[in-house]
Amino acid sequence: MAITDSTTGQPSLAAQATGVQLAGTTPLKRRRVRRPLPLIGRIVLWFVLIGFGLLFLYPFLWLLAASLKPRGDVFDNSLIPHTLQLSNYATVWDQLPLVSWLLNSVSIAVLAAGLVTISSSLVAFGFAYFRFPGRRLLFGLVLATMMLPGAVTLVPQYLIWKNLGLIGTWVPLFGMNLFGSAFYIFLQRQFLLGLPRELFEAARIDGASYLGLFRRIVMPLSLPSFIIIFLFEFQASWNNLQGALIYLNGGGPSGFTVPLGISYAMTTFSPTNGGHGDYQYVMVAALLVTLPMLLLFAFGQRYFIEGIATQGRKG
């Protein structure tokens, strides 16, 4: 059997299949086969992963146990309640305006996440599609704003909303997202650079406008990145205690968000402020308001992982 092709002079398929190396030819590269870990290595790896999992779950388990304890046992650091008090989950609705806090936080978080997702994606589309002088410099300036500490812009932002007469309303908590976020613009731009430019050029030939490109190409193909930006901002807005503490300084407790409400409850139930130390209700409230974030991540986990995996393919 010939080991070279008579027409091309290259190694034949038979030679390539058997791995025969000819004189003057480049040796074929063999794929490295990843060997599975031995049984002992896998057992050690399992124990390490389980240990880290329990370590990260400990605060949640502590919170769960504290929410099921009576007043005097909340801070005994026991993961198994000595006295199981399930009535805490029924009484908390009478002790705290938890429904109002949940509705306020959900409304603000949805508005903030939706606005920043759309605005950041529009800016990122401009940086990814258009070619104009100074584009890289302008994009660098946008990224440079991430270097500014939050304390630097805190006072100017407060003065702006104060002059607009919007202190004490929800608007400052989501209104700033109308102008996008440098971090989300960077993430979305990196995703859009991975899309074939021929799609956009073909759509332009067919008469699509720039907004049409965004609506018909960017939005359907960038759904994972849209969802990951929405999840990031929803979580950030849900846990935004500082913003709520600064801008929601008027009205009663029913107008608070979840983090501000829990902070208010801790202060109200404190014995130093005349409370009875009913911190078990605070623990129940903290546990209940964690569930929406867990459900949100559970339903969006596939898009979350896909969006993370496809970021930064081009730069």
What mean pLDDT is reported for the chain? 83
Instruction: Provide the total of helices (H) and of strands (E) in the chain, helices listed first.
Output: 15, 0
Residue 260's nearest CA partner among 281, 289, 231, 232 is 289
* Angle made by CA atoms 34, 301, 48, in degrees to the nearest 5: 50
Please report the DSSP string for 189-222 in residue order: HHHHTTS-HHHHHHHHHTT--HHHHIIIIIHHHT
The CATH number given to 95-309 is 1.10.3720.10
Tell me which residue has tokens 């896998």. Answer: 42
Q: Name the pTM for this structure.
A: 0.78
CA distance 263 to 156: 26
Helix (H, G, I), strand (E, B) or coil at 132: coil
CA distance 233 to 242: 15
Q: What are 52-78's pLDDT values in tens digits?
A: 988 988 988 999 999 999 988 888 888
Amino acid occupying residue 21: Q
| pLDDT band (50, 70, 90) for residue 234 | very high
How do the domains of the chain map onto residue ranges?
A: 39-86, 95-309
| pLDDT band (50, 70, 90) for residue 303 | low
CA distance 246 to 252: 15
CA distance 106 to 198: 40
